[in-house]
Structure 1
Amino acid sequence: MERELALEFARVTEAAALASARWVGKGDKEGADDAAVTAMRVMFDTVSVDGTVVIGEGEMDEAPMLYIGERVGIGVPPEVDIAVDPLEGTNLVAKGLNGAIAVLAASPRGSLLHAPDMYMDKIAVGAECRGRVHLEAPVKENLRQVAKALDKLISEVTVVILDRPRHQQLIEEVRQAGARIKLITDGDVSPGVAAAYQDSGVDILMGIGGAPEGVITAAALKCLGGDFQARLWPEDDTEIARCHEMGITNVNKIFTMDELAKSDDVIFVATGITDSFLLKGVRYFKRRAVTQTLVMRSTSGTIRHIEAHHDLDKKPLFKDHRIKLLGE
């Protein structure tokens, strides 16, 4: 993929972030999500790519999704797989909480796993811990390995876990091992990626979250040289059948990062909506807004943090109300 695409994709996530940030704290996650999806679609129509959405918005949220199989871009080469979450953390935006981002990953056609929209058990770490953790290893052993790799005591290791009843045993095991825990209410892409940043305050992500988000996290960690393992977590026979329909015959298989994102050519882009482990959220001034975007390419290893200042009166997407803003 051409390097220029990375900046084009940054415009896509910036648009989604700007659109959904207007809904922060308004208690309407559907409105926020619809704004993000609409803005992302409009901006994709300007990108010189022949893209197919292989990871779309979560049906779990009954969202106005960018659906799996949807074509995006203007239809010219290169042919790429696109994994998107226009608003990762719909509840976070609705409640005005930290951690919401607009995010996408792209890779050559056929290289991103077409993950069904269900749960996935995950473990994510940074480059120093690569090869040291395993999804089936005891929690204490994984934490011991992370501490050793980072030259820390286990009591100094920080684990991010979604605050869900299904994680009660995991939480107890982490506490018994002596590690620190940061519980989050929603949105595990940001902390999963943050595990690869030394100054993020996150050393490892563990637990069960969305499978689509798992593939996006794997793509990001591939750019950062981190490590990621995952296993699908179907809840019933219908979801097992869904796995089979998508070509995943062994639902107990542990997927490595390189199986979730097969190509060495991956682009990952995320824009903050509210403040997160990775990025500042959208900040508003007098008819202007400031966004912070993370752009990464695996082929070059380049990591860019882009702070963009937007004149909202000069953006057709907002000026002519092509998206619904502030309930208008």
Structure 2
Amino acid sequence: MDTNYGMEIVRATEIAALTAARLQGLGDHDHILNQARKAITKTLNRLHIDGCLVNDRFTQRKDTYQLPSRIGKGGEKTDIMAVALEAHRSAADGKNNATSYAVIAKEGSIQSLPNLSMYKIVVGPRVGQVIDINQPPAVNVKRVARTLRKYTENVTVCILNQTRHQKLINEVRQCGARIKLIEGGEISGCLAALTGEKADIYIGYGYAPEGALVAAAMSCLGGYFEGKIFYENDRDKREAAEHGIDDFDKIFRLQDLIRGKEVAIAATGITDGEFLEGVRFTSNGAITTSFVARGESRTYRKLETHHFFDYKPVF
């Protein structure tokens, strides 16, 4: 891409985060999601791009504000992913791990994915390609331990606290590894494993579209990812076929989801999470913590931004 858009799209995630943070803990799941989606759309539409929206998990969902299929004022053709508010239920209930994300990439770079469940394993660049999604969780945990030169008991596995993960949780416990259970925010959990700061490996089911966003982050930070879509019936397979997927046993890796290095990602914390701190309101504004990374140069930044509403209100 001709422009480094990372610092442009982070403004969109900041505005979405500030908007959602004002509604944190009020208990209205739909309202907080819709307001964040409106905010991120308004800001992304200021970009001088001709952006094609890809992998919006809430497309055609009833009672949800719909993002436009084309984003921007016109200009360079790009792909756009916008997760205005991941873990919107957590944010509405005042819980952790709510974050706003945006990805921009060269046109045709991001694989379109069906809105189905995907089993994922994510590790950081220090671990690399030692994991195998077809192996039992204990095998992968022990491989990570050997690579990191840790005792298995010192490896931290991040898992979503869901009923369908109970067998997975039991297997990880039996091998002796530490577990970090999170109530929501699988992307944050995956990025925590990528950086290795709060987890060594992420394992579990989540949504397939989020897999493309994790892959975008990985193209900027390094690491290794394997994902496998779970099909419950023939209708799911037909939906996948509409996205160009005809191998229903395919193991998706980074190169399958993000084609090329011309990609940038931005994220802003809404509530405190595994990857970023949440919004902190002050007497005359707020402080946000964000992350920006670029694939071409492998540069990344953590930003603390002080917003002064007295000078330029954002709402």
TM-score range, shorter chain: over 0.9
Contact 1:53 1:70 in 2 (8 A): yes
Deviation at 1:145, TM superposition (A): 1.2
Structure 1 counterpart of 2:264, one-letter code: I
Name the structure 2 match of 1:210: 207
In structure 2, distance between residues paired with 1:48 and 1:60: 26
Structure 2 counterpart of 1:98, one-letter code: N
Is 267-276 or 237-246 further displaced after alignment?
237-246
Quick one: structure 1 residues 60 and 131, their matched pair in 2 at CA, closer, same or farther if it must change by over 3 Å?
A: farther
1:45 aligns with 2:42: no
Deviation at 1:58, TM superposition (A): 3.1
1:248 aligns with 2:245: yes
Quote the sequence identity (%).
Answer: 37
Contact 1:50 1:80 in 2 (8 A): yes
RMSD: 1.6
Q: Secondary structure at the match of 2:293?
A: strand
Name the structure 2 match of 1:30: 30
Deviation at 1:251, TM superposition (A): 2.1
Structure 1 counterpart of 2:87, one-letter code: G
Contact 1:56 1:66 in 2 (8 A): no
Contact 2:60 2:66 in 1 (8 A): no
Contact 1:53 1:66 in 2 (8 A): no
Name the structure 2 match of 1:56: 56
Name the structure 2 match of 1:309: 306
In structure 1, distance between residues paired with 2:59 and 2:92: 18
Name the structure 2 match of 1:162: 160
**Number of matched residues?**
315
Name the structure 2 match of 1:223: 220
In structure 2, distance between residues paired with 1:215 and 1:23: 28
Aligned positions of 1:285-300 closer than 5 A: 285-300=282-297
Aligned positions of 1:30-109 closer than 5 A: 30-58=30-58, 64-67=64-67, 70-77=69-76, 79-109=77-107
Deviation at 1:241, TM superposition (A): 1.4
Structure 1 length-normalised TM:
0.92
Q: Secondary structure at the match of 1:104?
A: strand
Name the structure 2 match of 1:132: 130
Is 291-300 or 247-256 further displaced after alignment?
247-256
Question: Which stretches in structure 1 are left out of the alignment for 5+ residues?
Answer: 319-328
Quick one: structure 1 residues 180 and 63, their matched pair in 2 at CA, closer, same or farther if it must change by over 3 Å?
A: farther
Structure 1 counterpart of 2:225, one-letter code: F
In structure 2, distance between residues paired with 1:226 and 1:211: 18
Name the structure 2 match of 1:259: 256
Structure 2 length-normalised TM:
0.95
